[in-house]
Amino acid sequence: MSKKLTIGLFGFGVVGQGLHDIIKTKNLNIEIKKIAIKDATKERSLPASYFTTDKDELLNNPEINTIIELINDTDAAFEIVSTALRSGKNVVSASKKMIALHLEELLKIQEEHGTSLLYEGAVCGSIPIIRNLEEYYDNELLHSICGIFNGSSNYILSKGFLEGMDYATALKQAQDLGFAETDPTMDVGGYDAKFKLTIAAAHAYGVVVEPDAVLNIGIENLAASDIQYAREKGLKIKLVPVAKELDDQHVALFVLPKLVTESEFLYNVEYEYNGVIVQAAFADQQFFFGKGAGGHPTGSAVLSDIAALRYDYQYEYKKLKTNTGLKFTNDIELCVYLRYENDDFVDALDFKEIKERYYSGTYKYIIGKINLSKLIDLRQRIYDEKAFLAFADQLTGVSLVSAN
């Protein structure tokens, strides 16, 4: 028999409303007691008695045993989640940045207070990747995890490749549809995907990595010449986070645009959809596909966590607790495509090997092997130079390898 959950909900935006829409269609022994919001004057779809602007009405209410956190403020989200866990309340959160930045501390709080924090909705919307990494692959050696983790950037790329739309117009359309924020840096700069990747890596490999240590290069500098190059080669460009185990001691994480071949699963993942590829030693390659954003898709993932809490479910972090020395590293070499203007910049990047180089008027590109740590050192210059860089392993057969 499941226990009754009495819920205090923080946030009633797209996901909060989507969650409420779903809950009211089910009979799951769940009751939303109170909803905390910022703006009390905004018109809502529920009676005013449901709402409050005082967080303590939820956190200090003994009748509420479960907190659902769905707000955009990272610092406030951490305060809410940590306070709730310390006070004995279980929590469901969809705040990927907050979880990625504070994961180690949140693990300690759960351990100390015997409470549970679940966050399926924080990574890839409706795709149930965290629970699968935690449970299905708990004893599986995972060679790699990669995919399309951000629907906003993928929408922009799809508009460019499928409809010939330029980057600025596609971005504006994504913003108008609510897929991208007014400041889209989190999405198109690869930060959103990076936060999701570090969370997934904790469950896949048992490593907790500071997001600042992980390279993320986005699609802001994408130009028509890059799309033309990819199209002529039968490729597409996707923004792809990668976590790869190099050996029994090292795992690498990074987020880069990637030149994707027609034979790859990600080639046909378009618009706001996400896709996750898990390469396992025994299960081989498996592909998860679904909507990565939106009120109802993300709300369904949040509801799945809520339903699991009715049976006192907790992440066991099995690989984290049994980690025998696997560590994060940026000391790897990878093959990249670089479209650039300044030859001095190419010299500064110190390519280890050049496979191909091309000059034609104002269009210049180079394909070769480079150390990931060098890209980290020069990532701001890549942006400032208006250069476009993409992971290009499939072009040359060069796989991601340790520099040592």
Helices (H), 114-240: 129-131, 151-163, 167-176, 185-188, 191-205, 224-232
Query: Given this model, what pLDDT does residue 256 score?
Result: 97
CB atoms within 10 A of CB 270: 18
Distance in angstroms (rounded) separating the CA atoms of residues 175 and 227: 21
Residue 398 — pLDDT band, cuts 50, 70, 90? very low
Pairing of strands 388-391, 332-340: antiparallel
CB atoms within 10 A of CB 245: 21
Pairing of strands 5-10, 66-69: parallel
Distance in angstroms (rounded) separating the CA atoms of residues 86 and 362: 59
**In 85-211, where do the E strands start and end?**
90-93, 117-118, 142-148
State pLDDT tens for residues 299-352: 999 999 999 999 999 999 999 999 888 999 999 999 999 999 999 999 999 999
Annotated catalytic residue within 159, 194, 196, 238: 196
pTM: 0.95
Mean pLDDT over 103-120 rounds to 98
Is 196 among the catalytic positions?
yes
